Amino acid sequence: MTEENWWEVSIPVREEEAEEAANALAKLTGRGVAIVPASSFSTVVAYLPATTPAEKLLRFWAEGERWAAGKIEVRRLQEKDWLTWWRREYHPFRVGKRLVIKPTWAAYEPGPGEVVIELDPGLAFGCGTHPTTRICLRLLEKWLRPGMKVYDVGTGSGILAIAAALLGADWIWAIDEDEVALRVARENVARNGVADRVQVLRGNLLEGKEEKADLIVANLTAELILQLLPQAAKLLLPGGLLIAGGIPVERKGEVLSSSPLVLVEELAEEGWVGLVLSAR
């Protein structure tokens, strides 16, 4: 998004509807939207190029109003505002026992055994601060073994694929359907020096994939995880693992009852659950 200006639209939504609202709005923007959790409600933040045709803006606005639980805020944003915001709000932080997420512009001296992921999330989802990303990172740190072949489905900024590579995976296919995410993921993969082991690919979930994997990590939505389950069951090697994130706690039962895979571990945080499921 070089010199282009953007509309930043912030829509307060009920916490339990945030995921559905974000999905509906992301469909209209054609790119990822962020969910910013707050105490009693969440805010869905979407970005639309200032050149968006009025008709498309109106459709987006109508959808936003359908979900809004409060006043919708709109502001014009330039790339430099975006960068300033990130630089002010985003500092190195630790996830799990060894992983540290470090924004590209911050200095950080790693402690013994620490694995540092350097990120510039741009407009793609996945700066590591969202609970669903943190859950997946912690589960990856626990279950990933050196030498594994991994799919990261819905890679966003590439954060989980990069974590897998830095934790020792042999090969990672990082898949996303969003062009902005693919570009940002490629940049982050190169920045972390793992481009020789991470292939960033455009794709719809695991559609058309044939290579088997030891581990699949997918931080998506309950809906998409339900679609992914049969694909994952086909592509996992015996004993292989699916780490499924982005599932609201109240939808865990629905996912588990549809799963051809066996539950090994679950990890919940702030109303979200990550499931580790094993292929028999």
Which residue, 12 or 32, is less far from ligand SAM as judged by CB? 32
Binding to ligand SAM in span 206-265, by CB under 6 A: 219-220, 224, 246
Hey, what are 201's tokens? 């690919």
Q: In angstroms, what is the minimal distance from the CB of 236 to ligand SAM?
A: 18
d(CA 279, CA 81): 46
205 binds ligand SAM (CB under 6 A): yes
Choose which of 6, 10, 25, 32 interacts with ligand SAM (CB under 6 A): 32
Q: Is 30 annotated as a binding residue?
A: no
Which residue, 24 or 78, is less far from ligand SAM as judged by CB? 24
Quick check: helix, strand or coil at residue 271?
A: coil
Quick check: helix, strand or coil at residue 20?
A: helix
- Side chain identity, residue 211: E
| Segment holding 63, helix H or strand E | helix 54-67
160 binds ligand SAM (CB under 6 A): yes
| Contact indicator for 36, 42 with CB cutoff of 8 Å | yes
Q: Is 133 annotated as a binding residue?
A: yes
Q: In angstroms, what is the minimal distance from the CB of 143 to ligand SAM?
A: 15
Q: In angstroms, what is the minimal distance from the CB of 3 to ligand SAM?
A: 24
Cβ-Cβ contacts under 8 Å for 149 (sequence gap 6 or more) = 169, 170, 171, 172, 211, 212, 213, 214, 215
Q: Is 156 annotated as a binding residue?
A: no
Beta bridge partner(s), residue 7: 48, 76
Hey, what are 142's tokens? 């626990």
Q: Is 176 annotated as a binding residue?
A: yes
Choose which of 176, 197, 255, 274 interacts with ligand SAM (CB under 6 A): 176
Which residue, 48 or 220, is less far from ligand SAM as judged by CB? 220
| Contact indicator for 66, 25 with CB cutoff of 8 Å | no
Q: Which x/- pattern, by CB under 6 A, does the window 88-127 give for ligand SAM?
A: ------------------------------------xxx-
Beta bridge partner(s), residue 208: none
Which residue, 46 or 124, is less far from ligand SAM as judged by CB? 124
d(CA 236, CA 124): 27
Cβ-Cβ contacts under 8 Å for 68 (sequence gap 6 or more) = 11, 12, 13
Annotated binding residues for S-adenosyl-L-methionine, as ranges?
A: 133, 154, 176, 219
Annotated binding residues, as ranges?
A: 133, 154, 176, 219
Binding site for ligand SAM (CB under 6 A): 32, 124-126, 133, 136, 153-156, 159-160, 175-178, 181, 203-205, 219-220, 224, 246
